[in-house]
Amino acid sequence: MWVGKGKVWKASSHARSQVIYIPADVVKDGSYPFKISDDVIVRLDATQQRLIISKKE
């Protein structure tokens, strides 16, 4: 599991979907432990402002 900071924002004021931004430095420094082909689950913890990514079993 990887826990870190990210940004979430709506694409527009009328959109129902949101965009999750994972900072490039997370991927660059190797702390993002998943491969492109891995299925992952992305959770947002709004109370602690955390982005949680875990590998799908």
pLDDT per residue over 11-44, tens digit each?
566 666 666 666 666 555 566 677 778 888 878 7
The total number of structural domains in the chain stands at 1
Q: Return the closest-CA partner of residue 19 out of 6, 5, 32, 29.
A: 6
pLDDT value of position 2: 52
Q: Which domain holds residue 37?
A: 2-55
- Residue 20, amino acid: I
> Which DSSP symbol is given to 26?
H
Residue 54 pLDDT > 70, yes or no? yes
Tally of CB atoms within 10 A around 4: 14
Split at pLDDT 50, 70, 90, the class of 55 is: confident
Q: Enumerate the β-bridge partners of residue 5.
A: none
Measured distance CA(3)–CA(25) in Å, rounded: 14
